[in-house]
Structure 1
Amino acid sequence: MTSGPAEQVHDAVRDLVAAWLPTQRWFPGKGRQADIEVRRLTELLHSPQVTIWTARADYGDGEVETYQLPLVSRGEPVDNLEHVLLGTVETEAGNRWVYDALHDKDTTRAWLAGLVDQPAGDVRFTRYVAAEDVPVDEASLVMSGEQSNTSLVYGDAAIMKVFRRLQPGVNPDIEIGGELSRVGAHNVATLLGSVEADVDGAPTSLAMVQEFLTSATDGWVLATASVRDLMAEADLHADEAGGDFAGEAERLGGAVAQTHADLVTAFGTREATADEMVARSQAMQQRLDHALGVVGELADVADGLRAIFAAVAELEGGVTLQRIHGDLHLGQALRTVYRWVLIDFEGEPMAAIDSRREFDSPLRDVAGMLRSFEYAGHHRIADAGNDPQLAYRANEWSARNRDAFCAGYADVAGGDPRRHATLLRALEAEKAVYEAVYESRNRPTWLPIPLASLGRLAQDGDTA
């Protein structure tokens, strides 16, 4: 974006971004007042030329977030980019139309070309495979539906994730992907390359490129199709319906256990200290306190949940910590023709990178997947009101597949995760408390799903 005096372009882009940024689905600060500071970070050497800008959102309360904006300017409007037009810039050379470069197929080759050529400059390209394995000549297509980042598929060979929110340090998805590829992990996609630059003086991950699994279907789609088939059968149990998912749930459990073992090989383990377990218990209690102020229905189960969280502080020894996925659910698992593959190891995108790189119990991933099975089983009845028959079938499907997942995990790990009932129950309850807050704010008709789970967990805690 070098046409016209730099100052003219910069001032105009700043104003365009301030209006455009709050409209993007990956920007979480919608509805909040923020001062937006826009800076030119660097350029990618390609034609048309891509300029990477950063937008620093200062909310005035001490919270500051930085976002990545790859932009391209054109000397005339491009019809098929109208949906990602930020606006026009007046320069001495004439008007320039400014677009989100990730949607411009004429520019997106620049990232893969950088991985192949690895030019010297402000942007650092790291390639983990041979140059001929990078599909540099494939056209790109932006994937829809992503909440936190922007992903592009290149033909049927590669997928690039561009991190929208920038934080100093190596993104955990790159770090873990590289290490798991190095140790030959079977249940992850191969990392092809990564892109980095200095932002505010600190090395910062901008993007990563992985193999694209063309035959894959995500676990949520498969699981909910199984539930749909069951609900269509009026007189069959979950193990009798043609779309029974338990076999896949068991294989998925094995894949998660094997990936946890591969993470141990790559990063090692350590034992949690007593102080750490007390701190974890206190954090759980604090999240419950916050949630009670948002979801009044939690008051009915608060005492039981407090007992569950308090029990975590009493755990003495035997709690092994390691690198984990950190945000595992059915949508983060892809079923290919040959195997289950886990994706998106960056953890919770809005959390600080340092916290996402910390060791944690692998039971946290197990709890996340158990919650996902609960959601898959009940999603069809969330909007249907009180139908006892559908509720019975949803409960049956969820219980069957939760059990199958744990059995598959146990077969590979050598121990059933349910043996650690105190911690697993607490981690599942913590996740369900978060879900209750989210559903109350975004999908009120789905709130009964986490509330029912919390009622069950609180009762189990009282009888444990």
Structure 2
Amino acid sequence: MSEAATRPSAHATALLASLDPLLREWLPRQRWFAGKGRPISALEAVTATELLPRNSPSGLLHVLLRVRQPIVPAQGATLEGVAAERPSDCYQLLLGVRRTLPPHLAPALIGHVTSGPFVGHTVYDALYDPHLAELLLERLRMPGRHGVLRFERDMGVEIPSGLTPRMLAAEQSNSSLVYGDTFILKLFRRVVPGINPDLELPLELARKGCSRVPAPAAWFLAELADTDDETCGLGLLQPYLTGAEDGWALALASRTKGEAFTGEARALGRATAEVHAALAAALPTVTLGRAQVELLADGMAERLTAAAQAVPALRPYAPGLLTAYEALADLGGESQSWTAQRVHGDLHLGQCLRGPDGTWSLIDFEGEPARPLAERRLPQPTVRDVAGMLRSFDYAASHGTWAPEWAADCRAAYCLGYADVAGQDPRTDPVLLRAHETDKAVYEVLYEARHRPEWLAVPLAAVRRLAQDGPADDAH
């Protein structure tokens, strides 16, 4: 978002000045804060909106906060002797304000304000306060504007008042509230200008009558200027699938019991293909010709180079992995073309929910949060989602004792289920599938090396297989 379009008011600047030392200490402790391990060089208010006045028993303050942090060079690397500053991240905060914090809200404490507009008050994470969480739901029930915030809803969906809120603890990059086991509100923590795919795609799918994705009931945005490019998606209210279990937990339970998961995998393949078909009907598709395929392959090769520089364990396999991208570029050079469309972008077992009736739904269409929004909204070959799910079966098979046959059976069943709906098995395009699965495995190597070193062996095993220039569904 541009600096000019988001110049804060004098009130917001004064407010942040008083909160600055508290937020500097609190932000790095949050699971959704992406800048862990780097000092904060500056905090800047983008907007500050009082949803409930501070003179109320408990005030509610909505803040968009820009966080600036320096790049910390890798060991031995220099940037002309100076740590350069990385592009700033903008975070969404909902802050509760009270004179005295009751004991049950102690875990939500941010700190005590000693100066500025909120002097003498205690500031805390408002999502832990049932009263303020209920107020947020009430605001979603009533479309309209509040400062820079715009609240919208589907008037055909009944949203009862008085639903009891509770926080979900499993989120990492965002925060979620469940209201009375009827709705779930997902709040995007790190926000960027433009429509978030997690709002955009479910809205489009709902208009096409796709029942595989919970339809948005209400949502809210921040309008920072008079253009769509300066509108930020902030939150999304959807039906809560009571009694649903996520695919990752179900797959692990199957592995633990020594049971097959092929029936569920095939049903998941059908669900994925149905969502792809609905997305293709709802939004434009494009043809990837020679130039576009070369760009696609070059991007994969660049990500491989960067990952190999960061993770030494990947380097021995880089030449073999590169052949997957070269084969894709060669096919493009031979006038082979593919259709690209909007896709999920980060599909894995944890993004799939099975309802009590056995029906599978897909959730979380945000894509890979680390990638730029413009990139996440680009049309992609549908095999990108397929590759993500195939990798997820490998992860599940690596839980405990490695079970290659279990993984191979699930992968095959998923592809067969996809073909049941799409009319074509993804494995009939082995070059495209191998390139995308290789790209996903390389991404996983980098992610695990940075965040979960104990998991690094899982994508490295796939890397060894994929570097051998075999088809994407070969055994481990």
Q: TM-score, normalized by length of structure 2?
A: 0.87
1:63 counterpart letter in structure 2: P
Q: What is the CA–CA distance in structure 1 between the aligned matches of 2:422 and 2:356, rounded to whole Å?
A: 23
Q: Deviations over 1:415-434 (max 9, x none)?
A: 00111110110110111111
Query: How far apart are residue 6 of structure 1 and its match?
Result: 8.1
Question: Which residue is equivalent to 1:396?
Answer: 405
Does 360-369 or 295-304 show the bigger shift? Answer: 295-304
Structure 2 SS opposite 1:348: coil
Question: Which residue is equivalent to 1:31?
Answer: 37
Q: What is the CA–CA distance in structure 1 between the aligned matches of 2:438 and 2:118, rounded to whole Å?
A: 60
Q: Deviations over 1:179-209 (max 9, x none)?
A: 1111110211121011011247722111110
**CA distance change for structure 1 residues 462 and 327 in 2, over 3 Å: closer, same or farther?**
closer
Q: Deviations over 1:115-167 (max 9, x none)?
A: 22224332211102436x11331121111121111011001100001111110
Q: Deviations over 1:224-243 (max 9, x none)?
A: 1111111xxxxxxxxxxxx3
> Quick check: 2:186–2:235 contact (8 Å CA) kept in 1?
yes
Structure 2 SS opposite 1:120: strand
1:334 counterpart letter in structure 2: L
Q: Deviations over 1:438-457 (max 9, x none)?
A: 22333333222212212222
RMSD value, Cα: 2.1
**CA distance change for structure 1 residues 462 and 70 in 2, over 3 Å: closer, same or farther?**
closer
Q: Deviations over 1:334-386 (max 9, x none)?
A: 000231000000111222222111101110000000000000001213xxxxx
Q: What is the CA–CA distance in structure 2 between the aligned matches of 1:119 and 1:284, rounded to whole Å?
A: 43
1:292 counterpart letter in structure 2: A
Q: What is the CA–CA distance in structure 2 between the aligned matches of 1:350 and 1:441, rounded to whole Å?
A: 13
> Quick check: 2:251–2:396 contact (8 Å CA) kept in 1?
yes
> Quick check: 2:13–2:44 contact (8 Å CA) kept in 1?
no
Q: What is the CA–CA distance in structure 1 between the aligned matches of 2:361 and 2:455, rounded to whole Å?
A: 28
Q: What is the CA–CA distance in structure 2 between the aligned matches of 1:6 and 1:357, rounded to whole Å?
A: 32
Structure 2 SS opposite 1:293: helix
Structure 1 SS opposite 2:146: coil
Question: Which residue is equivalent to 2:179?
Answer: 154
Question: Which residue is equivalent to 1:388?
Answer: none
Structure 2 SS opposite 1:151: strand
> Quick check: 1:377–1:398 contact (8 Å CA) kept in 2?
yes
> Quick check: 2:346–2:368 contact (8 Å CA) kept in 1?
yes
1:329 aligns with 2:348: yes
Match of 1:164 among 189, 198, 209: 189
> Quick check: 2:141–2:218 contact (8 Å CA) kept in 1?
no
Does 422-431 or 58-67 show the bigger shift? Answer: 58-67
Question: Which residue is equivalent to 1:185?
Answer: 210
Match of 1:313 among 314, 329, 351: 329
1:246 aligns with 2:262: yes
Question: Which residue is equivalent to 1:358?
Answer: 378
Question: Which residue is equivalent to 2:151?
Answer: 125
Structure 2 SS opposite 1:244: coil
Q: What is the CA–CA distance in structure 2 between the aligned matches of 1:185 and 1:43, rounded to whole Å?
A: 37
2:32 counterpart letter in structure 1: W
**CA distance change for structure 1 residues 307 and 119 in 2, over 3 Å: closer, same or farther?**
closer
1:66 aligns with 2:90: yes
Q: List runs of 5+ in structure 2 lacking aligned partners.
A: 1-10, 71-84
Question: Which residue is equivalent to 2:449?
Answer: 440
Query: How far apart are residue 8 of structure 1 and its match?
Result: 6.6
Structural mapping, 1:48-447, within 5 Å: 48-60=58-70, 61-90=85-114, 95-122=120-147, 123-130=149-156, 133-199=158-224, 202-230=230-258, 243-314=259-330, 315=332, 316-338=335-357, 339-381=359-401, 391=402, 394-447=403-456
Number of residue equivalences: 436
Q: What is the CA–CA distance in structure 2 between the aligned matches of 1:35 and 1:443, rounded to whole Å?
A: 27
Query: How far apart are residue 169 of structure 1 and its match?
Result: 1.3
Q: What is the CA–CA distance in structure 2 between the aligned matches of 1:313 and 1:416, rounded to whole Å?
A: 22
Q: TM-score, normalized by length of structure 1?
A: 0.89
Question: Which residue is equivalent to 1:384?
Answer: none
Q: What is the CA–CA distance in structure 2 between the aligned matches of 1:143 and 1:436, rounded to whole Å?
A: 28
Does 32-41 or 103-112 show the bigger shift? Answer: 32-41
Q: Deviations over 1:70-115 (max 9, x none)?
A: 1011111221221121101136997211111111111012222122
Query: How far apart are residue 462 of structure 1 and its match?
Result: 8.8
Question: Which residue is equivalent to 2:8?
Answer: none
Q: List runs of 5+ in structure 1 lacking aligned partners.
A: 231-242, 382-390
Q: Deviations over 1:213-268 (max 9, x none)?
A: 002100000001111111xxxxxxxxxxxx32110000000000000001011103
Q: Give aligned-pair identity as a percent.
A: 42
1:262 counterpart letter in structure 2: A
